[in-house]
Structure 1
Amino acid sequence: MLHSWRNLDRVSRSAHESFLMARYIAAHSQTNRPSHLPWGNAFSCCTSNNTLGEQFAFIKWKDGAEIVRSADIYPNSSHRDGSIYKNSILQSIGHVTKRDETQLEPMKFSDPTNCFPDQLRCCIHFVCNMMQFFSLKLAKVSANTSLVQLYGYIAVRDSRDLLLNYIVSRSRDDPIVVKQGSLIEMTGPKRGINMLGDVLVEFDMRIKTGGQKEDNDLQLIDGVVEYSKANAPFRQFTERINGNCGAVDITLARVPDAVEATIDVIISKMQRGFNLSLSLFVFIGGSHKEIELLCDIIGESCGLTRRHAIAVQEETWMYLKFKVGQKGSNYNDVERYCQFKANIHGCDYQEIMLKHASILVKVSWSIIP
């Protein structure tokens, strides 16, 4: 295994201790401490007038500031000039000439048959460190326009199969329209990301200029960044990937003792003629940083086809926030919350009853090998 050539993460002792205390409070508040959360300590759903940013304020850093560091991009890792395919180091550790998407599916061990003594008390299957992406943001762009069209991909390669596990992937014919400072919608990962070894984050994102030829498009970011236990701490952190024509901020974390949570959302009992505006956000590990999973308009009862794989520390709580409204309505969106405790196996269900529809949430738990 190649050791990371990057500098060790520089975090002060006081900040690190604050983080450990915050994580301890978040993980144990359901036992001997009164809950800091509006929905209590048991599985439930409720309505709140407060934002989750306020509700999680007790675990923010003391100075409230977010440190953004520059990502160290591997030399000779560009796709546009083809140097990545000639890089013997990246080929050795990441098999970067293999362009296939990972074929490994989530929920591989949600319902295993070889647990001992049983699934609830299983001592056969074990948790591991995993990587979790919190957000992607267009930090800056050199194009002289308020909105830009982005296409390309950001993907990871982990030790499970070294194939591409896409965080976002858009074709030139179906670009993302965003402005500087906006989030880039994440459509992955397809499955949980193992961090037992090093993980490569590979990216090739471009700005569509409006012409017919791809050669005239601008390169936003291009290359590979390596993450390992040396530079990916057990807390969320943000790095800026700088490119020729802009930069993308990625916020991620290494999650200890983690399991894979696969979230499925099913909309049913939809009132005819009602268009549901639905947004879904996830909070894990006591973090105040939300993970935006979807923002969509739904016109009929359906099972949302997008499946979400999240890394959650074992025996901690995962919180889901739904913002629900009616398309074109002048009324404020209603917020609904539910929570799930992470297990190594099995499935949990919760149903949120609305006036015009019903939302069924299924969470499947699994370890990853």
Structure 2
Amino acid sequence: MLHSRRNLYRSSRSAYESFLMARNIAVHGRMKPIGPNQLPYGNAFFCTSGNPLGEQVGITKGKDRAEASRETKKLNVPSAFIFTNSSHRDGSIYKNSCLDVFCVKKRGETQLEPMRISDPANCFPDQKRCRVHFECDMMQFFSLKLAKVPMNASSVQLYGYIAARDYLDLSLNYIVNHSRDNPLMVRQGSLIEMTGPKRGITMTSPVLVEYDMRIKEGEQEEYDLQLIDGATDFCEVTTPSHPFTSQINGDCGAVDITLAHVVNAVEATIDVIVSEVRSGFNLSLGSYVFVGGSYQGIELLRDIIGESCVITRRYVIAVEMDSWMHLKLMVGREGSKYDDLERHCRFKANLHGYAHRQILLEHASISLKVTWSAMP
């Protein structure tokens, strides 16, 4: 069933690729090959002449977004391409035939978990390779940042979602998802805590990133402000294999997303359990993975742990096969900085298997378990 679904998806891409060609012709006037002074970002080209981070030649939606795009260029952060007529609030995204290949009318969350099943019978005699599962290219989000908010607002209450759709089942794989009743308090220029993805994001075909985030302004939803709303695609051929940042400009602000195309990757599922808490403390956990020739950090957890508290968190990260993933744990007394105590551990990426670390501290016991799995 999986293979038939994959073949159906790949065969349906011809219409999508025709659309991409038409879009590039519309944007650039004519198709041009990628030259030595050009870098591909998503499906648009950015000329690096005179600007080390590039300048987008793309389409923006409306006068405000065009002005926001010009401001973004001054900061050397390229603006993300946003599909025309991809708003969720007015329903235009559901009528956009260019997005039919991504099944945007399918609103459910992905039910697929990380591919953990391992059968020794599927392994070759050396037990190091699997007959069934192999590493594959994946997308990894490194950070989300609230880049801009309306004037006179240093911090805002955010709700809504950012999610990815890949070929596995085309359902929503949430990177962040908060209801209006449970908004996030975020300051301008600060990171937006990522709660996902639920499983790895495959990048053997284009990936669609959908978003609909709003700023809570009062008791009534009608007074809320639209932060970002739309959809952006990232092509497996042109998305860089090193982390890069694009800015999604909306009606009332902007969000910076940093991601990369990780080649020959496997899934790392990180389970964190904090127990036996004897006193309150600050906890920070970061992951460092090798991508694009260097190690890059991902903030996983930053929280205040109260007394008599047990927390359980799970994170899924794309890690290049045979590379090392480092976890950095920082603990501080409640009300102090995070650098009072620091612990490091590392795990080597593999197709299957798991490793466990138990860290006993004065404040609590922290269990770290990393389970490796490969995408089908």
Alpha carbons of 1:328 and 1:163: their partners in 2 closer, same or farther (altered >3 Å)?
A: same
CA RMSD after TM alignment: 2.3
Q: Any unmatched runs of 5+ in structure 1?
A: 17-65
1:278 maps to what in 2?
A: 283
TM-fit CA distance, 1:68:
2.0
* CA distance in 2 between partners of 1:320 and 1:199 (Å): 27
Amino acid at match of 2:96: N
2:152 maps to what in 1?
A: 144
2:185 maps to what in 1?
A: 177
Amino acid at match of 1:173: D
TM-fit CA distance, 1:112:
6.3
Say if 2:116 and 2:371, in contact at 8 Å, map to a contact too. Answer: no
1:325 maps to what in 2?
A: 332
Tell which has more relative contact order, 1 or 2 (C-alpha 8 A, sep 6+): 1
C-alpha distance after superposition, 1:17-71 (max 9, x if no partner)? xxxxxxxxxxxxxxxxxxxxxxxxxxxxxxxxxxxxxxxxxxxxxxxxx952110
TM-score under structure 2 length normalisation = 0.78
Q: Any unmatched runs of 5+ in structure 2?
A: 1-12, 24-42, 54-74
The one of 311, 315, 337 equivalent to 1:308 is 315
TM-fit CA distance, 1:110:
5.0
Say if 1:127 and 1:257, in contact at 8 Å, map to a contact too. Answer: yes
More helix by share: 2
1:359 and 2:366 equivalent? yes
1:86 and 2:86 equivalent? no
The one of 178, 192, 206 equivalent to 2:200 is 192
TM-fit CA distance, 1:229:
2.3
Amino acid at match of 1:227: F
2:249 maps to what in 1?
A: 242
TM-score under structure 1 length normalisation = 0.79
Superposition map of 1:52-67 within 5 A: 67=76
C-alpha distance after superposition, 1:206-234 (max 9, x if no partner)? 1111142x222111100000001243111
Alpha carbons of 1:69 and 1:111: their partners in 2 closer, same or farther (altered >3 Å)?
A: farther
Say if 1:155 and 1:202, in contact at 8 Å, map to a contact too. Answer: yes
1:222 maps to what in 2?
A: 229
Say if 2:282 and 2:338, in contact at 8 Å, map to a contact too. Answer: no
Say if 1:94 and 1:162, in contact at 8 Å, map to a contact too. Answer: yes
Amino acid at match of 1:262: T
TM-fit CA distance, 1:141:
1.3
Fraction of identical pairs, as percent: 61
TM-fit CA distance, 1:155:
0.2
* CA distance in 1 between partners of 2:261 and 2:280 (Å): 38
* CA distance in 1 between partners of 2:120 and 2:167 (Å): 22
TM-fit CA distance, 1:359:
1.7
* CA distance in 1 between partners of 2:211 and 2:236 (Å): 21
Alpha carbons of 1:262 and 1:110: their partners in 2 closer, same or farther (altered >3 Å)?
A: farther
Residues paired across the two proteins, number? 314
Alpha carbons of 1:259 and 1:79: their partners in 2 closer, same or farther (altered >3 Å)?
A: same
Amino acid at match of 2:254: A
Amino acid at match of 1:361: L
1:232 and 2:239 equivalent? yes
1:164 and 2:134 equivalent? no
TM-fit CA distance, 1:88:
1.3
* CA distance in 2 between partners of 1:202 and 1:360 (Å): 34
The one of 120, 128, 141 equivalent to 2:136 is 128
